[in-house]
Structures are given as structure tokens and as C-alpha cells.
Amino acid sequence: MAGEISGDYGPEGVFLIGILKGAFMFLADLARSITIPVRFDFMACSSYGSSRKTSGIVRILKDLDTDIRGKDVLVVEDIIDTGLTLSYLLKNLKAREPASLEICSLLNKKRVEGKVDLPIKYEGFSIPDVFVVGYGLDYDEQFRNLPYIAKLKK
């Protein structure tokens, strides 16, 4: 994936926006593997609370510190579930007038009821509609530190 990203963007590089908290491990590994200049910033938002299901209400908890106007921006996500949160963020980011705006996600749940169709340019793995933890992904702030991704048992 990093090779594809490196080839798709020019010598000016790419501006990565990591969606906290879940994407931090994936973003770090991805950024180290990209061979063109990389700059990055982070956003944090919430639509889950302490539940396994999204509430449908998106709140931005941390906004960007950097102006993205005119930059080639790649939003880096850990997982796309319903896509509602990311859809909200994309509208928010498009209003800031980046030169380009693309999506990169480590995981993408394919068969989720009510899923928003998003143009994912870089997708690591397609997974079924199960709750997963590890490698930055959590359940109620637990299990992020696992060095692997696992299905959470009920």
C-alpha cells in the first residue's frame, strides 16, 4: 500500500490525516514505509462512546492544527464500519479546499446495514461485520495495544 501511495503522489509528497485514536499505529507504520515526503496531522472524532454500535452523532474532539488548503490530503482510517463518521469528516475537509482528498483504510467492513458508499482509494483488508480489536482498534479503550487484530468475543 505504501508503495502505491508513494507512486501516486508527486515529489511534493502527501499530507496524511490520521483519525485518532484508532489509526495511530497503522498511520505510523504506513508513514515509515512511504518513500516520498510525508507531513501529517490528526483529527479525533467520536460516534461510539462505550458501545459496539455507532450512535450516528459525530462529534469532532480534536481538529487539525494545519491548514490543508491546496495540499494533497490522504485521510488514514483504521476501520470503516458504517462510513457515517468518515462521510461527515470528508464533507468537513472538502470545505477546507485541499488540492485532492482521498481515503486510506486498513480495514473495511463490506456488509454493514446502512453503510455509506465511500470512494476508498487504498484498502488494506475487507472484513465481515464483526467487532475487531488490536493494532489501535479498541473496545471501550481496551485492547489497542495488541500487536495483532482479533475478533472480540461476545
pLDDT at 143: 97
More confident residue, 153 or 33: 33
How far is residue 119's CA from residue 19's CA, in Å, rounded to a whole number? 17
Q: pLDDT tens, 106-143?
A: 999 987 777 888 999 999 999 999 999 999 999 999 99
Banded pLDDT at 50 (limits 50, 70, 90): low
Residue 27: what pLDDT? 98
Average pLDDT over residues 95-106: 98
Q: Which residues are catalytic?
A: 81
Q: Where are the domains of the chain?
A: 2-129
Architecture of domain 2-129: 3-Layer(aba) Sandwich (3.40)
